[in-house]
């Protein structure tokens, strides 16, 4: 059986040559942890500083090693950066989408010895070795460890269905990344290697894969990103509050959808932990900047409030900066 996580769509007629791209070590002279830093705390837990400025932990060496652009040589102590403890702790980092992950113990959703494909942050178990090998996967490329925190998705029980999102497929010598609705092409070996992919990860495409439309290309990785699809997540900016009265105010911001249907909401509260969310609203998928605003009421007079804009689409979630205002007396 196998783990599977949701990856990104890739398609293009660009054939690429195998190459390795080294991931540069983060410089550690700064006092603030840079995006993409890999840090280990006193308990031995390794964290990755993501693009939304969270510290997200890995649950196993296998999950860490599934990201080919990471290596243990990059790991620094959390004491290197003064702001580490102040960063919000995000969810556990699952193994990389498209990787095969095998459980080592029976715990949570894990069954010892069971292998699954990681797709969409979930695991899709292989019901037989026939399904596993028939789809071109190899145990030599599998990672092992703790995936007990992951949810399950539909099992993989045949060899004729299209490969799940996150898998690299080989179509007549050209590599594509399977996404939610299309295949993403590879624009260059540098982009491919920058995500830590290997040509050994690609499996032969089947007839169902050939029917998937080819649209878009894999974006270049930037610091703090874990997989290509996150590059299509929305971008947001929290802006200054307006119309502040004693018990109400208008929260404002900007959202850029990056071409996918996107929803937004504001989070606010009397501490930096926020705690209250406004209803989720859609800004559609048009590739232009949107200016959402929401009125909040029933606030306490003369009170300091913190707030931020949050947006989400099928590729990920983005958080704006946390700002503050004080209601009138």
**DSSP per residue, 14-56:** --------PPPPPP--SSSPPTT-EEE-TTS-EEEE-TTS-EE
Report residue 259's pLDDT band, with 50, 70 and 90 as the boundaries. low
- The H or E element containing residue 133 is helix 129-134
* Whole-number Å distance between alpha carbons of 120 and 165: 7
Which of the two residues, 20 and 265, has the higher pLDDT score? 265
Give the whole-angstrom CA distance, residue 51 versus residue 278. Answer: 24
**pTM surpassing 0.75?**
no
Predicted confidence at residue 222, as pLDDT, reads 84
Residues 6+ apart with CB under 8 A from 143: 62, 63, 65, 66, 95, 99, 100, 101, 102
Domain 233-326 has CATH 2.60.40.10: yes
pLDDT above 50 for 22: no
User: Where are the chain's structural domains?
Assistant: 10-16+163-225, 233-326
Q: How far apart are CA 179 and CA 177, in angstroms?
A: 6
Write the pLDDT tens digit of every residue in 174-203. 999 998 778 999 999 999 999 999 999 999
Cα–Cα distances in angstroms (integers) from residue 103 to residues 3, 16, 200, 253, in the given order: 9, 33, 22, 43
As a whole number of angstroms, the distance between CA 198 and CA 193 comes to 7
**What pLDDT sits at residue 263?**
93
The per-residue pLDDT for 79 is 92
Reported as a single tens digit per residue, the pLDDT across 209-249 is 999 999 888 888 888 888 887 666 787 889 999 999 999 99
Q: What is the CA radius of gyration of the chain?
A: 21
User: Which one, of 271, 320, 269, lies nearest residue 292 by Cα?
Assistant: 320
Neighbour-count burial for 295-312, b at 16+ CB within 10 Å, e otherwise: ebeebeeeeebbbbbbbb
CA–CA gap between residue 277 and residue 21 (Å, rounded): 42
pLDDT value, residue 119: 87
- At 33, phi and psi to the nearest 5? -65, 125
- Cα–Cα distance between 46 and 62 in angstroms, integer? 12
- DSSP, res 107: B
Looking at residue 231, what is its pLDDT?
64
Which of the 8 DSSP states describes residue 138? -
Residues 6 or more apart from 42 whose CB is under 8 A from it? Answer: 78
Query: CA–CA separation, 148 vs 105, rounded Å?
Result: 9
- CA-based max dimension of the chain: 70
Give the three-class secondary structure for 324.
strand
Alpha carbon distance 194, 188 (integer Å)? 10
């Amino acid at each position: 059986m196998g783990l599977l996580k949701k990856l990104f769509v890739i398609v293009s007629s660009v054939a690429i040559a195998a190459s390795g791209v080294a991931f540069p070590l983060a410089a550690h002279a700064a006092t603030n942890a840079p995006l993409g830093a890999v840090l280990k705390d006193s308990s031995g837990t390794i964290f990755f500083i993501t693009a939304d400025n969270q510290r997200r932990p890995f649950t196993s060496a296998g999950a860490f090693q599934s990201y080919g652009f990471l290596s243990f040589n990059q790991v620094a102590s959390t004491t290197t950066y003064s702001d580490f403890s102040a960063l919000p702790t995000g969810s556990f980092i699952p193994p990389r989408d498209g990787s095969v992950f095998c459980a080592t113990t029976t715990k949570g959703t894990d069954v010892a010895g069971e292998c699954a494909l990681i797709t969409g942050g979930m695991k899709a178990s292989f019901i037989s070795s026939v399904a596993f090998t028939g789809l071109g996967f190899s145990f030599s490329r599998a990672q092992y460890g703790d995936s007990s925190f992951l949810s399950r998705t539909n099992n993989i029980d045949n060899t004729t269905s299209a490969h799940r999102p996150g898998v690299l497929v080989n179509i007549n010598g050209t590599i594509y990344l399977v996404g939610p609705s299309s295949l993403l092409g590879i624009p260059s070996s540098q982009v491919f290697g920058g995500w830590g992919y290997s040509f050994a990860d690609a499996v032969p495409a089947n007839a169902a894969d050939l029917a998937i439309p080819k649209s878009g290309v894999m974006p270049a990785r930037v610091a703090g990103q874990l997989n290509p699809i996150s590059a299509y997540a929305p971008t947001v900016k929290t802006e200054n509050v307006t119309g502040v009265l004693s018990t109400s105010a208008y929260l404002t911001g900007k959202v850029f959808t990056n071409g996918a249907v996107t929803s937004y909401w504001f989070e606010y509260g009397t501490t930096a932990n926020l705690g209250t969310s406004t209803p989720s609203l859609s800004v559609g998928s048009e590739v232009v900047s949107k200016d959402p605003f929401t009125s909040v009421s029933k606030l306490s007079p003369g009170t300091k409030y913190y707030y931020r804009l949050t947006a989400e689409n099928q590729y990920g979630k983005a958080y704006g900066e946390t700002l503050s205002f004080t209601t009138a007396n």
